[in-house]
Amino acid sequence: MKYNLKYSQYNERSILIEWQAIIDENILKSILNFKNCIQKKCIKQKVEVITSYNSILIIYKSTIDNINDRFKELRSLYRAQKFVSNVQSSIWEIPVCYDMDFGTDLHQLSKEKKLTISELIQLHSEQVYTVFFIGFLPGFLYLGGLHPKLYFDRKTTPSFNVKKGSVAIGGQQAGIYPQDSPGGWYVIGKTPIKLFNIRTDPPCFIKPGDKIKFRPIDKSEYFDIDERITKSSFQLKPVRTDA
């Protein structure tokens, strides 16, 4: 499926390409297809391509001399590309401890949504989420697929320090904080999995287009996995990789 895209100059070295402003898996597939196409066709120009829910930002290594020529080149590339319906992706099972010591906002969210904590955890963990893009912090996964019963506006006053590994809900999305940071999402659990490591290649092993399934664990298993990660005796592997 082809979309009516908007092309605009972002700055002297960048071009922004925009799709319809909605969270949609077909748009995500279109974005990832076009990203792969750009990276293959523009390899001599050494461009950086950054994706979001509904856009691609292309950053060139040098100043764009003729923006209209670049627009023409990209439009032609988009029209000529072959759409691949199944972008290669992996399914990851992420262990999450929903204990109240980790899920610091569980009680408030349960009260606001008029759900028991058990119901909330079930609704959160039974979904299969899609990684739409990575941003805000290195390794922060923006996940679509949250159950509609858990939709909830972000906090009006962000928390000062959300702990690394915190699993949270914000608006219609779910996410995992890869490091300690301020944050305005509601924290309902914590994972011992380290999502970002600057010493590995790539630093974040999960990529846009991948799927996430949360697996509830108790505190004992949480600390066991955490210790094994510290000792380098635990490695998370994808449940499945689709071509």
pTM: 0.85
pLDDT per residue as tens digits for the range 6-62? 999 999 999 999 999 888 888 998 999 999 888 887 655 678 898 988 999 999 988
- For residue 111, the model assigns a pLDDT of 96
Angle at 209 between CA 206 and CA 214, to 5 degrees: 60
Q: Which CATH class is domain 89-242?
A: mainly beta
Asked if 113 contacts 150 with a C-beta cutoff of 8 angstroms, the reply is yes
CATH match for 6-80 among 3.40.50.2300, 2.40.40.20, 3.40.50.300, 3.30.1360.40 = 3.30.1360.40
Amino acid identity of residue 140, one-letter, is F
Q: Please say if the pLDDT value at position 243 is more than 60.
A: no
- For residue 80, the model assigns a pLDDT of 85
pLDDT per residue as tens digits for the range 60-101? 988 998 999 999 999 998 988 776 555 678 999 999 999 999
Distance (Å, whole) CA 103 – CA 121: 10
Question: For the ranges 121-130, 136-145, 178-187, which has the lowest average pLDDT?
Answer: 136-145
Tokens of 57: 């930002």
Q: Give the model's confidence band at 238: pLDDT under 50 very low, under 70 low, under 90 confident, else very high.
A: confident
**Residues contacting 71, CB < 8 A, separation 6+:** 7, 15
**Residues contacting 235, CB < 8 A, separation 6+:** none
Cis preceding-peptide flag for 202 (omega within 30 of 0): yes
Asked if 23 contacts 53 with a C-beta cutoff of 8 angstroms, the reply is yes
Higher pLDDT, 221 or 240: 221
Asked if 56 contacts 35 with a C-beta cutoff of 8 angstroms, the reply is yes
Quick one: CA torsion of 61, 66, 68, 73, rounded to 10 degrees? -50
Tokens of 98: 């929903």
- Do the domains at 6-80 and 89-242 have one common CATH topology? no
Report strand pairing: 141-144 vs 89-97. unpaired
Asked if 95 contacts 221 with a C-beta cutoff of 8 angstroms, the reply is yes
User: For the chain, what are the domain ranges?
Assistant: 6-80, 89-242
